[in-house]
Amino acid sequence: MVVFSISYITSAILFYRLGLGDASLVYANIVNLSARVLYCLVFVDGYFKKASSTSAVHFRLDKVLPPRGLWVISVISAVMIYVSERRLNANELALQLGRRAVMNFSVLFHVAIGLSLAILCILTWWTVSGRYLNLLLRRKVE
């Protein structure tokens, strides 16, 4: 925990000095949580290798990552949101109009695009991962 705390503080200071302002805390948290995830992955991998030395069951990264279809739709959604924001100037309008931006057509259209893509990502996740979810639910019932 001390190492993770030091990495958080160090990265927060570094990002702040790079001129990111308050966002430096968010990026420092991303660095900290990423380091924790990597540590957990290494720990779990070592545990499964020791515990199942005779069997063929090992921790595999491809079994815990989201399916490829979800990665693809997520990247496409991120690009579409970026393009939408650039073309509609939603951030610029929000800064200029303040609260009145909620009623602006461009801002509303940008939000509608983001919401539609979020629903598409959730539906993709459900259809691609649904078989795993059904297996987990069946095991709980039994």
Domain end (from 33, 58, 83)? 58
Domain end (from 34, 58, 82)? 58
Render pLDDT for 6-62 as a digit per residue (tens, 0 to 9): 999 999 999 999 988 888 899 999 999 999 988 888 888 788 777 766 555 566 667
Same domain, 51 and 87: no
Domain that holds residue 1: 1-58
Residue 81: pLDDT band with limits 50, 70, 90 = very high
The mean pLDDT of 75-83, rounded to a whole number, is: 94
State residue 61's pLDDT score: 67
Same domain, 52 and 110: no
CB atoms within 10 A of CB 124: 20
Same domain, 81 and 140: yes
Q: What is the pTM of this model?
A: 0.57
Pick the more confident residue, 142 or 66. Answer: 66
Q: How many domains does the chain have?
A: 2
Domain end (from 40, 58, 76)? 58
Separation of alpha carbons 20 and 13, rounded Å: 10
Cα pseudo-dihedral 70, 72, 74, 76, rounded to 10: -150
